[in-house]
Amino acid sequence: MRFSILPAFILLLPLGEIAGFVVVGRALGLVLTLALVMASFVLGVVLLRRQGIDILRRMSSEGRNGVMPGRDLLKPAMTVIAALLLIIPGFLTDIIAILILIPPVRDLVWRSIAKRFVVVQGGFSAGPKPQSRDGNRNSKVVDLDEEDYHRQPDRNSPWSGKHLGD
């Protein structure tokens, strides 16, 4: 069900943005509408420069070290996402960005994402915890037989390599 929401959102977002331009343009006029779009772009660039690429480097290094990104990384990461949304022209993305910048909304997002992270052998993974054969989700071992882990090569696949030496 989650996968059907994303394509609909991607298709409806541009239509919503166009409708937003029409509504705001009628209410404020062309010049003020364009000024608002440019102001949100400049604000997005300023926020992005302020946070910089440093936050992405910190998240990557913590992930490589097997540490789950903590709350102290959430605020700058959400600010980067909000900055990117502000850079995109449109009023709906600006509203989403402003909501992301509000601390209670960030806390709500943290509570919803934190339970999805699972620390796995020196890294972290999103999704449900692995389950052992006895159904215990707290087990650190996932028991696989050879047929569970092994895959037969497809001779008709162009990636099989049989035609590379011809």
Give me the residue label for tokens 């069900």: 1
> What's the CA gap between 37 and 44, in Å, rounded?
11
Mean pLDDT of the region 145-162? 65
Tell which wins on pLDDT, 83 or 9. 83
Q: Considering its fold, how many domains does the chain have in total?
A: 1
Tell which wins on pLDDT, 19 or 8. 19
Mean pLDDT of the chain: 76
Burial tier of 94 (Cβ tally within 10 Å: 0-12, 13-18, 19+):
buried
Domain presence at residue 150: no
Please report the pLDDT score of residue 121 as a whole number.
Answer: 47
Please report the pLDDT score of residue 50 as a whole number.
Answer: 81
Give me the residue label for tokens 């449109």: 90
Domain presence at residue 144: no
Residue 117's pLDDT band (cuts 50, 70, 90) = low
**Token pair of 10 as six digits:** 């991607």
Tell which wins on pLDDT, 115 or 140. 115
- Among 43-57, 66-80, 84-98, which stretch is predicted with the lowest mean pLDDT? 66-80
Residue pLDDT, tens place only, 30-71: 999 999 999 999 999 998 888 767 776 777 777 677 666 666
> What's the CA gap between 106 and 98, in Å, rounded?
11
> What's the CA gap between 149 and 54, in Å, rounded?
38
Q: Which domain holds residue 51?
A: 8-115
Overall pTM surpassing 0.75 (yes/no):
no
Mean pLDDT of the region 151-155? 67
Local structure of residue 131 (DSSP, 8 states): -
**Token pair of 136 as six digits:** 């215990």
Residue 122's pLDDT band (cuts 50, 70, 90) = very low
**Token pair of 103 as six digits:** 């601390």
Tell which wins on pLDDT, 20 or 110. 20
Domain presence at residue 59: yes
**Token pair of 67 as six digits:** 């540490």
Domain presence at residue 66: yes
